[in-house]
């Protein structure tokens, strides 16, 4: 009888472990948490609307190819967030050279991107994870800064 009880206990324990493992949430990438390809496209579109509404940022986009920018930003966000894309655009130093940006522009860009992600339904933890990844580019983006604060 003790053998039978021990066997049932072990069987119950193993079943419990299997159920616990099955109920654990699957690990997801930041890309997946942001909504995958459709989510990234929505974030980029929302970002462009935010830029268009910003008197501070809008002039920085006057002379750019918006369709190309849209495509390259989507590639970049996809790659950075762990998606299947590869960024094929120019490096950040070249892209931002001569734009006369200052920290107000950078902060406004972060705010615009945060609003874009929020409007796309991205949770705050995922927004912060994306912003942390993008913060690594600050030095490259601001290298050619010439505008006064």
Residue 26 DSSP one-character state: P
Q: What is the tens place of the pLDDT at every residue in 47-71?
A: 999 999 999 999 999 888 999 999 9
* Domain limits, the chain: 33-142
Q: Which CATH class is domain 33-142?
A: mainly alpha
pLDDT, one tens digit per residue, over 4-15 is: 455 565 555 555
> Was 96 annotated as part of a binding site?
yes
Average confidence (pLDDT) per 10 residues, the chain, 149 residues: 53 53 66 97 98 95 93 97 94 82 90 98 97 89 61
Give the containing element (helix H, strand E) for 94: helix 92-96
Residue 81 is classified by DSSP as: T
């Amino acid at each position: 009888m003790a053998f039978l009880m021990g066997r049932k206990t072990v069987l119950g324990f193993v079943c419990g472990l299997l159920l616990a493992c099955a109920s654990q949430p699957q690990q997801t990438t930041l890309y997946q948490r942001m909504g995958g390809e459709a989510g990234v496209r929505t974030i980029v579109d929302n970002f462009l609307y935010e830029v268009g509404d910003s008197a501070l940022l809008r002039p920085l986009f006057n002379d750019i190819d918006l369709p190309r920018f849209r495509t390259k930003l989507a590639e970049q966000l996809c790659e950075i967030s762990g998606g299947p894309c590869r960024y094929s655009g120019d490096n950040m130093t070249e892209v931002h050279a001569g734009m006369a940006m200052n920290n107000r522009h950078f902060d406004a860009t972060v705010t615009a991107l945060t609003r874009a992600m929020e409007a796309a339904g991205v949770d705050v933890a995922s927004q912060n994870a994306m912003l942390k990844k993008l913060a690594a580019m600050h030095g490259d983006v601001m290298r050619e800064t010439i505008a006064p604060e």
